[in-house]
Amino acid sequence: MAKYAVNQAAVEHVRALIDAHQYVLDSDWGQVQPDAEAQNAYLERHSWDEYAAWHLGLTEGATEGTKARYAFAAGDLRRVHRSALIACVYRASEWRHKVVELAAHELLQHLDATSS
């Protein structure tokens, strides 16, 4: 099983987006998460650092500048999705990636406090 570190730059990016009210509170993450085509289109116009900023996890041992390096997407490459953060908490918890789970949980709490 892969191991993940928290992508602190992504945590800061997502927090800043939440503070700027760039979020979606009600979505079906399974329907709106970026597919491979959308990710590739994004990478044609943006840097790997910008792509990475949407992913709360960094796959340990994976090569920088590859999609395999980045995990636990927090949004649709435009806005943070509450459902994405819930999915991150759930997946990280399920596979016992505690540091990513806690980072996603903290962001979810911040989103809920900001949006209420």
Q: Is the pTM of this model over 0.85?
A: yes
Mean pLDDT by 10 residues, the chain (116 residues): 96 98 98 98 98 98 97 98 98 98 98 97
Coil/strand/helix, residue 18: helix
DSSP-assigned states of every residue in 35-99: -HHHHHHHHHHS-HHHHHTTEEEEETTPPTTSGGGEEEE-BSSSSEEHHHHHHHHHHHHHTT-HH
Q: What is the pLDDT of residue 1?
A: 82
